[in-house]
């Protein structure tokens, strides 16, 4: 299968802390320290080291704690102003998490309808300006699918999936890959808080994304 990125193209990867993963906010996009230590760094490493002829520029625009509402506020600056050829989006875990850890702080929460509406607005605005958009599922490293937070993450992931289908976009089902791992080994091997993966967990995310692009591992 041919890779879905054209040569000499620009890929902006936007999301929350899972995307951010300690990147230097002051670094030049695709420059030293700009990739963080997570799946974006691994994606960049594979595209650069294993497909050097493509010359892909990868820019990490994850920000810790972001919800889809936060993405909307910075979309122009962190996505459109970079004039990307391709955009990947992974957002939703904080939209869910605040329903559980933000109650006593009276955090303003993002419900499913707002999540669906903003996601659709961002895609509708961006699609005519880029070659393609890739939607990555929010995920939770929790094997019990009846756990209340895991059930809600799955609900928001379904909205992301529906958004991708409605716009004819690639949907990368990261949760499916995480669940396959959890059938074999404990979640504590790749995560300590059910949300933020370690490097092994980020490898699962990166491979899910690259497989979706048709990246050749040979």
* Residues involved in catalysis: 17, 193, 196
Report yes or no: 153 and 138 within 8 Å, Cβ to Cβ. Answer: yes
Q: Token pair 């909205």 is at which residue? A: 159
- Closest by Cα among 89, 85, 112 to 172: 89
Is residue 51 within 8 Å of residue 215, measured between CB atoms? yes
């Amino acid at each position: 299968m041919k890779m879905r990125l054209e040569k000499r193209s620009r890929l902006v990867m936007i999301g929350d802390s899972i995307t951010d993963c300690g990147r230097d906010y002051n670094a030049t996009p695709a420059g030293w320290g700009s990739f963080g230590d997570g799946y974006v760094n691994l994606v960049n490493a594979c595209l650069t080291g294993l497909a050097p002829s493509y010359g892909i520029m990868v820019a990490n625009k994850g920000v810790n704690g972001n919800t889809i509402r936060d993405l909307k506020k910075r979309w122009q600056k962190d996505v459109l102003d970079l004039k990307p050829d391709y955009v990947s989006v992974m957002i939703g875990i904080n939209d869910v998490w605040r329903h559980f850890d933000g109650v006593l702080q009276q955090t303003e929460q993002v419900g499913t309808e707002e999540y669906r509406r903003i996601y659709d607005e961002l895609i509708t605005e961006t699609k005519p300006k880029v070659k393609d958009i890739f939607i990555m599922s929010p995920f939770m490293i929790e094997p019990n699918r009846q756990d209340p937070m895991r059930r809600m993450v799955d609900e928001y992931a379904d909205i992301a999936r529906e958004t991708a289908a409605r716009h004819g976009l690639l949907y990368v089902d990261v949760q499916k890959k995480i669940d396959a791992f959890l059938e074999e080994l404990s979640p504590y091997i790749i995560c300590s808080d059910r949300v933020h993966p370690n490097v092994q967990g980020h490898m699962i995310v990166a491979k899910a994304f690259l497989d979706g692009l048709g990246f050749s591992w040979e």
